C-alpha cells in the first residue's frame, strides 16, 4: 500500500507487475483469446485503443507507462525484456497484436515457432498506427483477419502478403469484434466458419448493432444474404447463419441457431436515476428485471447514462464496473435539450433538469423513441433505448 498522490492520505493498492526473468515463464492472467503488447509511450496509446474496442482482449504494457487505472481495466504491467514475455503468450492466445518493430518481433518469436497449425496469429503494428502487418499464421491462425480488424480500429492500412488471400469473406470468430460484439456461444463457430469458407448459403441477420461490418472493396459474396429479422431469415432455406441481435430469441426463432452463431452487439443504452445511496444490488435488480420484461440480453447493454449529479454515485459506479458498461453523465443543460414525454417540475426543482433517465437515454442513443420511456421501481428509475447508429 502507498498514499494516493492526489491528497497524500488515501491508501491505494500497488499494481501487480510481472517481473520477467530468463527461463522463467511469466505468470500471466489470460482472460481472452487475443493479447496486445505495447512497449513505447505511443504504442501504449494504440494498445489501449485496441483493448477498448476488442472486449476480452488482454493488454500488456511496460510498467513505466502506468497510469494508475491498470487494475481496474485489467491491464498487465511488466518489467524486463519483452522477449521473455512471449514464451507465456504463445501457447495461451489465438492471436497477438504486437506494437513493436517488425524486425525485433521476428527475432524474438523465431525460437518459439512450431507449425502453422499450432502457432498463434501474429500481427505487428507500427508505433504510429499506420500499418497492421500480418506476420505469422495468416490463414489458419487468423492473422490476416486480425490485421484487418486492428487496422479498422486504428485507421491503419492492413498489410497482407499471402498470395492466396483473395477470398475476402467474414471471419466468424472475429465478426464485429472491433464494435464490441460478442458471440453468445462458441459451439457452432467451426461449422459456421466452414459454411462461410465453402461458399454455402449463409444468412446474416442483423436486427441491431453497427452497420459497417463489411469492409472489403467488393460486394458481399453471392452465397451470403442479409436479413433484417430472424423471422424473415427462417422463411428461406439456408445452411448457416450469423445472427446479430440484442433480443433473447424465442423457442421458434432458436431454430436458426441449429447451425448459427449468435452475436450480441453493444446496442442498448440505459438511462438511470436513483435516490442517493441506492445499493448496486437494487440498481442491478431493477435493470435485469426491466431487460427481461423486454426480452433483451444484458450482454447487449452498452452504457448507463445519468445526470452529472450522480457521477460519484457508488451504486451506479459499481454496477457499471461489474458488467463492463460505460457510465456517462450529462449536465442538466444537456438533458434539457432533449424532447421528453414526461417532464417533471419536481425533478427540475432538485436537479435543474426536467428529467434524468429519459433524456439521458435519448441523448446517448440517438433514438427518437424509447423502448421504455420511464419505469419507476423502488429507489430506481430506468429508461431503455436501442442505439441509433446512423445518428452517431
Between CA 310 and CA 122 the distance in angstroms is 43
For residue 139, what pLDDT is reported?
55
Residues 255 and 304 reside in one and the same domain:
no
301-307: strand order across its sheet: 326-330, 301-307, 268-274, 380-386, 372-377
385, part of any domain: yes
pLDDT for 12 equals 45
Residue 43 lies in a domain: yes
What range does the domain containing 141 cover?
2-159
Last residue of a domain, one of 264, 279, 295: 264
Q: What is the pLDDT of residue 143?
A: 85
Report yes or no: 246 and 263 within 8 Å, Cβ to Cβ.
Answer: no
Q: Which of 159, 192, 227 is the last residue of a domain?
A: 159
Cβ partners under 8 Å of residue 22, min gap 6: 84
pLDDT attached to residue 115 = 79
Distance CA 149, CA 199 (A): 22
Any idea what the CATH number is for the domain that residue 345 is in? 3.30.420.180
60 and 143 in a single domain? The answer is yes
Say if residue 281 is in the same domain as residue 374.
yes
Same domain, 67 and 112: yes
Q: For strands 260-264 and 240-244, give the pairing.
A: parallel
Verify that 42 and 142 share a domain, yes or no. Answer: yes
Q: Based on the domain organization, do 37 and 105 belong to the same domain? A: yes
**174 assigned to some structural domain:** no
**pLDDT by 10s per residue, the chain, length 392:** 333 443 444 444 566 888 888 877 888 989 888 999 999 999 999 999 999 888 779 999 999 999 888 988 889 999 999 999 999 999 999 899 999 999 999 999 999 998 776 889 899 999 999 999 999 876 556 788 889 889 999 999 999 886 545 556 788 877 888 888 989 998 998 899 899 989 999 999 999 999 989 877 789 999 999 999 999 999 999 999 999 999 999 999 999 999 999 999 999 999 999 999 999 999 999 999 999 999 999 999 999 999 999 999 999 999 999 998 999 999 999 999 999 998 989 999 999 999 999 999 999 999 999 999 999 999 999 999 999 887 55
pLDDT at 118: 81
Residue 127 exposed, middle or buried by CB count within 10 Å (0-12, 13-18, 19+): middle
Is this structure's pTM higher than 0.85? no
Based on the domain organization, do 11 and 129 belong to the same domain?
A: yes
| 3-class SS string, 242-287 | EEECCECCCCCHHHHHHHEEEEECCCEEEEEEECCCCCHHHHHHHH
Residue 164 lies in a domain: no
Residue 298 maps to a domain: yes
3-state secondary structure of 2: strand
- Alpha carbon distance 126, 124 (integer Å): 7
What pLDDT, on the 0 to 100 scale, is given for residue 2?
A: 37
The pair phi, psi for residue 6, each rounded to 5°, is -70, -35
Q: Exposed, middle or buried by CB within 10 Å (0-12, 13-18, 19+), for 29?
A: exposed
Provide the domain count of the chain. 3
Predicted confidence at residue 207, as pLDDT, reads 97
Residue 125, domain member (yes or no): yes
Please check whether residues 200 and 223 belong to one and the same domain.
Answer: yes
pLDDT tens readout for residues 208-239: 999 989 877 789 999 999 999 999 999 999 99
110 within domain boundaries: yes
Contacts of 23 (CB under 8 A, 6+ apart): none
Q: Is residue 166 part of a domain?
A: no
8 and 149 assigned to the same domain = yes
CATH at 73: 3.40.50.11220
Query: Could you give the CA distance from residue 141 to residue 233 in angstroms, rounded to a whole number?
Result: 31
190 and 124, same structural domain?
Answer: no
Q: What is the pLDDT of residue 37?
A: 97
Q: Rounded to whole angstroms, what are the CA distances from 81 to 21, 24, 39, 124, 250?
A: 8, 12, 10, 18, 52
| pLDDT score for 9 | 40
Listed residues 264, 288, 321: the one ending a domain = 264
Same domain assignment for residues 41 and 152: yes
Average pLDDT, the chain: 89
141 and 227: one domain?
A: no
Amino acid at each position: 500500500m502507498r498514499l494516493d498522490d492526489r491528497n497524500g492520505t488515501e491508501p491505494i493498492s500497488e499494481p501487480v507487475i510481472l517481473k520477467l526473468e530468463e527461463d522463467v515463464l511469466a505468470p500471466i492472467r489470460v482472460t481472452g483469446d487475443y493479447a496486445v503488447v505495447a512497449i513505447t509511450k505511443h504504442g501504449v496509446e494504440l494498445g489501449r485503443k485496441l483493448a477498448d474496442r476488442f472486449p476480452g482482449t488482454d493488454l500488456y504494457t511496460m510498467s513505466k507507462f502506468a497510469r494508475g487505472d491498470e487494475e481496474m481495466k485489467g491491464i498487465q504491467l511488466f518489467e524486463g525484456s519483452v522477449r521473455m514475455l512471449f514464451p507465456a503468450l504463445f501457447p495461451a492466445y489465438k492471436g497477438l497484436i504486437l506494437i513493436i518493430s517488425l524486425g525485433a518481433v521476428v527475432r524474438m518469436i523465431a525460437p518459439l515457432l512450431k507449425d502453422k497449425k499450432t502457432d498463434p496469429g501474429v500481427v505487428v503494428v507500427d508505433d504510429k498506427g499506420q500499418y497492421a502487418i500480418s506476420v505469422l499464421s495468416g490463414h489458419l491462425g487468423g492473422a490476416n483477419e486480425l490485421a484487418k480488424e486492428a487496422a479498422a480500429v486504428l485507421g491503419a492500412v492492413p498489410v497482407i502478403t499471402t498470395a492466396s488471400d483473395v477470398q475476402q469473406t467474414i471471419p466468424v470468430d472475429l465478426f464485429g469484434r472491433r464494435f464490441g460484439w460478442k458471440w453468445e456461444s462458441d459451439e457452432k463457430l467451426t461449422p459456421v466458419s466452414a459454411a462461410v469458407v465453402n461458399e454455402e448459403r449463409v444468412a446474416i441477420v442483423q436486427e441491431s448493432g453497427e452497420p459497417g461490418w463489411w469492409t472489403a472493396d467488393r460486394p458481399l459474396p453471392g452465397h451470403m444474404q442479409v436479413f433484417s429479422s430472424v423471422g424473415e431469415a427462417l422463411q428461406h432455406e439456408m445452411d448457416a447463419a450469423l445472427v446479430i441481435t440484442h433480443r433473447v430469441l424465442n423457442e421458434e426463432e432458436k431454430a436458426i441457431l441449429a447451425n448459427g452463431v449468435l452475436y450480441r452487439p453493444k446496442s442498448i443504452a440505459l438511462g438511470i436515476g436513483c435516490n442517493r445511496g441506492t445499493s448496486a444490488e437494487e440498481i442491478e435488480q431493477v435493470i435485469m428485471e426491466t431487460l427481461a420484461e423486454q426480452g433483451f440480453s444484458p450482454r447487449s447493454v452498452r452504457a448507463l447514462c445519468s445526470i452529472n449529479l450522480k457521477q460519484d454515485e457508488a451504486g451506479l459506479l459499481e454496477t457499471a464496473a461489474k458488467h463492463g458498461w460505460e457510465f456517462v453523465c450529462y449536465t442538466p443543460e444537456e438533458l434539457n435539450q432533449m424532447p421528453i414525454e414526461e417532464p417533471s417540475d419536481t425533478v427540475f426543482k432538485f436537479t435543474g433538469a426536467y428529467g434524468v433517465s429519459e433524456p439521458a437515454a435519448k441523448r446517448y442513443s440517438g433514438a427518437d423513441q424509447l423502448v421504455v420511456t420511464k419505469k419507476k421501481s423502488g429507489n430506481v428509475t430506468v429508461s431503455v433505448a436501442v442505439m441509433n447508429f446512423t445518428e452517431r
